[in-house]
Amino acid sequence: MAKDKGKSGEKSSPIDTLYNQMEKARPYLDISDDHFLKLKKPKRSLIVSVPVRMDDGRIRIFDGYRVQFNMARGPTKGGVRYHPDVNLSEITALAGWMTWKTALMNLPYGGAKGGVSVDPEALSPGELERLTRRYITEIAPIIGPERDIPAPDVGTNEQVMAWAMDTYSILAGYSIPGVVTGKPILVGGSHGRLEATGRGVAFAISLAAQKMGLDLQETTVALQGFGNVGAVASMILHLEEGCKIVGVTDRHGGIYNDKGLDVCKMNAFVKDGGYVHEFGEGDALTNEELFSLPVDVLVPAALEGVIDEGNVDNIDCKILAEGANGPASLAAESYLQDKGVFVLPDIFCNAGGVIVSYFEWVQGIQMYFWSKQEIREKARQIMASTFKEILAKSKELGLDNDLRTAAMVISMERVYQVHKLRGLYP
Ligand code: NAD
């Protein structure tokens, strides 16, 4: 029976997980209660109602949010999520993780997140466009290239970002590509942004494998989520690192094949409108079963809170690579670390996306664009040096195999130092 895996019978919410992670890092910072509270409090939260004329002529009202968690280090940065479960508390937690992620990677940003409580799969393309344009109009007063820069997240993509950029530009009367990142290249996007998060996840796994002496050519991988992050990570792990991808799920279920799945073919199938479980070249696999597969690398790349006391005992992997934000409760994550699982924390593991978003923003400001090779190389350098920094911090603090807390200490210390230097107004 496991030792502390979390409070019995209670599911940890994303905001609980975020605050638990901060509390765990706190003893390693020399910080007063007042200053710690300042780190915990979201700076600005906006709730908007988003009326949309549906194709049948009716009007539906959706709830939308934008939370700017901390802006001490620069303009805030964070994705926009379209999912039925989106709510203020979840968006606040995701904005908090963006704060710690941008600080950890030492990008000149604070952290934000936004979203609309909607199932995008249930909307027509026209409804999706009208929803996006109205949502962006509602949050326009608080976003902008120097204020807060949205990007894609679950349920949004390059096309949604193109509509967002267009709407913001029309309101201003001229083109402002720098208001969002993750745009198509034709409207000011960056080479390498579409693949950036998945590529970063794959690179983080290769760094961990190197550290552990694991040969990726002999490695089995299972992934939850086959969207922007999961699909790209799986293809790079398969094609460039030689891993065998044995299990994949999406929100409708998935498949398992111990001989390995052709994830490139699966990606083309999904891009054509199919679901993973319909792909057909393996046995049916549920999302619950995915978390019991004996594999070398497990990659949650869908939603938060999928690993908790209910299933942590079943997890059988050497590396847990957090492609999703907040996939594990703190208690579950600590339990796995104690068992010797190498956990790549989300704020490091999936940071490839925000790194290349930063490059997109810089290129947009300069109106000077870099090659895909330059982008890939610069992103790798930032991830590799941050990995070394986290390992050194965990060693310095005696945090054996707890990269999460070491990473949180680095990030929180950076933001706290800026709070101190900037002082308190008035
Ligand atoms: P996406 O919308 O492209 O894909 C999400 C995938 O998760 C889909 O395959 C979907 O079917 C699956 N999914 C949704 N609900 C599920 C459920 N209940 N059970 C199982 N699978 C489910 O989203 P994405 O951009 O790939 O984001 C995935 C995760 O990565 C999120 O946690 C997001 O915050 C994080 N992330 C994304 C980026 C980015 O650049 N897109 C950057 C950093 C972190």
Residue for token pair 């010797």: 340
CATH 3.40.50.720 domain range(s) in the chain? 196-344
Task: Yes or no: say if 223 and 233 are a contact pair by the CB < 8 Å rule.
Answer: yes
Closest CA to 348 of 398, 385, 312: 385
pTM of the model: 0.97
- pLDDT-derived band at 10, boundaries 50, 70, 90: low
The mean pLDDT of 250-277, rounded to a whole number, is 97
Q: Is 306 in the pocket of ligand 1 (CB under 6 A)?
A: no
Per residue in 179-236, pLDDT tens?
999 999 999 999 999 999 999 999 999 999 999 999 999 999 999 999 999 999 999 9
Atom 38 (ligand 1): residue with closest C-alpha?
153
Radius of gyration of the chain, Cα coordinates, nearest whole angstrom: 21
pLDDT at residue 2 in the model:
41
Query: What is the position in ligand 1's atom list of the atom closest to the CA of 270?
Result: 9
Query: How far, in Å, CA of 426 to CA of 424, rounded?
Result: 6
Cβ of 345 less than 6 Å from ligand 1: no
pLDDT at 7 over 70: no
pLDDT of residue 409: 98
Total number of residues shown for the chain? 426
Q: How many Å from the N-terminal Cα to the C-terminal Cα in the chain? A: 54
* CATH class entry, domain 14-179: alpha beta
CA 106 to chain centre: 17
Average pLDDT of 239-254?
98
Using CA atoms, how far residue 182 sits from 166, 178, 261, 380, in Å, is 14, 10, 28, 18
Which string of b and e fits 22-43 if b means at least 16 CB within 10 Å?
A: bebbbebbebeeebbebbbebb
Ligand 1: residue whose CA is nearest its atom 37: 153
pLDDT, tens digit, for every residue of 336-368?
A: 999 999 999 999 999 999 999 999 999 999 999
Q: Is domain 196-344 annotated with CATH 3.40.50.720?
A: yes
Q: Say whether pLDDT at 6 is over 80.
A: no
> For 256, phi and psi rounded to 5 degrees?
-130, 140
pLDDT of residue 9 exceeding 90, the answer is no
Distance of CA 70 to the CA centre of its chain: 17
Query: How many other β-carbons are positioned within 10 Å of the β-carbon of residue 405?
Result: 25
Residue 330 Cβ contacting ligand 1 at under 6 Å: no
C-beta neighbour count of 371 within 10 angstroms: 10
Core vs surface per residue 162-186: b (16+ CB within 10 A) or e: bbbbbbbeeeeeeebbbbbbbbeee
Q: How far is CA 303 from the centre of its chain?
A: 9
* Residue 161 Cβ < 6 Å to ligand 1: no
Domain span(s) for CATH 3.40.50.10860 in the chain: 14-179
